[in-house]
Structure 1
Amino acid sequence: MNLLLRATYARRWLRSSASAYAKAAGAPAVNSYRRKRLELDQHRERDREPEREFLDDGREVLYEGPLMEKIKGVKTMSLVSCVATSMLGPYMMLTRDELSRQSDFQQITVGFLVLAIGAGTTAFLSWVCSPYVSRLSLSTDKKVFIAEQTDVLLRHKVTAFPVGSQTPVDILRPMVNFEAEKRHYFLAKENMKHKLVREQFPWIVKEDDE
């Protein structure tokens, strides 16, 4: 009887051990499968073609910049600060407090410094953000890219360049990743979902994969 109980216990222990080993051995395979499935779903989501959008004049929208509203906000604040410093600078140069210990030269220097800071920051932000493309569309004959941007005064600016004329550029300037007809442009890689854009700008897509 004692031997029978021992045999039954040993058989149950062997079964539980074998089951636990099988689960432990299969866990990495299951995790690997789930990880590969997740990566595959992410690639499919990234490569999925967006719905085609057309403008009133028949142009197809290929790309829209994701940070355009933020850039407009930064430019607006920069313009407001430039106007404020432009008004404050002459006031500081022309008015003088009787209790002030500053000389006329010091007061004029401070006024010019305020003007320079306001104009300099506005010019720098305009230089940095000017290549940013808010929308890239394709002409009806499918031969020309139309890039929409904003200038320093937040006015709408449209430039066009032939398809295939764009080339990668490597310069010490932020927010520039290609050049076309001696003009610099920038496309945000996370919004390059259209197949034609990925084909025409492969160096930006490779940068995204890296």
Structure 2
Amino acid sequence: MARTALLHLLRSECKHLSSRSFHSGYHLSTLVTRSHSPKATSSFYSPIHLAAAQRRWASQNSAATDDSRISIGPRRGAEGVEDEKDSRVVYYGPISSTIKKVKLLSLSTCCLSVSLGPVITFMTSPGMNVILKGAVASSVIFLSATTTAALHWFVSPYIHKLKWQPGSDSFEVEMLTWLATYTPQTIKFADIRPPETQRPFVTFKANGKFYFVDAEHCQNKALLARLTPQKSTQESAFKNL
């Protein structure tokens, strides 16, 4: 008798759960049943959803890797998209991002040496002479500042981006400042002169400053010819005047 009543109860529950017209008191049990059913699990974790999630994860992981990777060529991302829309951009510095990262690292090291160098020097070796400690701290600060200044002097002529509209008598370049930030400068072709120094990585001189363009990565050869005037041509032009 009890077994018959139990079987009858189970059959009534199965019929009740498989029906689409549920009473309000069984809504919660219906949601739980659907969430744990194989059909719902397969539809939620379908191959299409898994493939889309894997693509999103892979794109995010690759973007994070590209941000910390030293690369050669124009930087991808929002800045690259904006540059593609600007038709005036005709040249990118091939190692622009690398130079900026190295400069940021040098600045960080210099700041740490200036701020923490004397503290660490005077806190260690209590038996050492104070004058000797001051000499060591000064040497560390001087070495770090000299390295940072030499790096800035070496990479300061490097043009990171060049914008030029064909037919215009001037162009705009982006240079790197002491604090590793980009600053725009406008240069006229009439102010370009050949460099009168043996300084390395210098293409031309304008308004008392030196600039460098990588000729192998400059696709516009007409612009490159105007950026690299020959000294003999300049002298002959002045003689004709």
Report the TM-score, using the length of structure 2 for normalisation: 0.55
Q: Which residue of 1 aligns with 2:104?
A: 76
Structure with greater Cα Rg: 2
Distance 1:66 1:171 in 2: 24
Cα shift at 1:92: 3.9
Task: Specify whether residues 144 and 114 from structure 1 end up closer, same or farther in structure 2 by C-alpha distance, changes over 3 A only.
Answer: same
Asked if 1:122 is matched to 2:148, the reply is yes
For the residues of structure 1 that align with 2:193 and 2:216, how far apart are their CA atoms?
19
User: 2:168 aligns to what?
Assistant: 142
In structure 2, distance between residues paired with 1:174 and 1:165: 21
Identical-pair percentage: 26
Rounded to whole Å, the distance in 1 between the matches of 2:82 and 2:184 is 17
Confirm or deny: 8 A CA contact 2:172 2:184 kept in the other structure. yes
* Preserved CA contact (<8 Å) 2:203 2:227: no
After superposition, the C-alpha distances for 1:32-55 in whole angstroms (9 at most, x for unaligned) are: xxxxxxxxxxxxxxxxxxxxx996
Report Cα offsets for 1:107-137 as digits up to 9, x if no partner: 1000000111111111110111111001111
Q: Which amino acid aligns with 1:113?
A: S
User: Residue 164 of structure 1: SS of its match in structure 2?
Assistant: helix
The answer for unaligned runs of 5 or more in structure 2 is: 1-80, 231-241
1:80 to partner: Cα distance: 1.5
Report the count of equivalent residues: 150
Q: Distance in 1 between matches of 2:215 and 2:110?
A: 32
Which residue does 1:65 correspond to in 2? 93
Higher percent of residues as helix: 2
Distance in 2 between the 1:58 and 1:174 partners? 31
TM normalised by structure 1 equals 0.63
How big is the shift at 1:58?
A: 6.3
* CA spacing shift, 1:69–1:55, aligned 2, 3 Å: closer
1:194 Cα deviation (Å)? 0.5
RMSD between aligned residues: 2.6
Partner of 1:183: 209
- Measure, in 2, the Cα distance between the counterparts of 1:96 and 1:59: 58
Identify which of structures 1 and 2 has the higher relative contact order when contacts are C-alpha pairs closer than 8 Å and 6+ apart: 1
Deviation at 1:157, TM superposition (A): 0.9
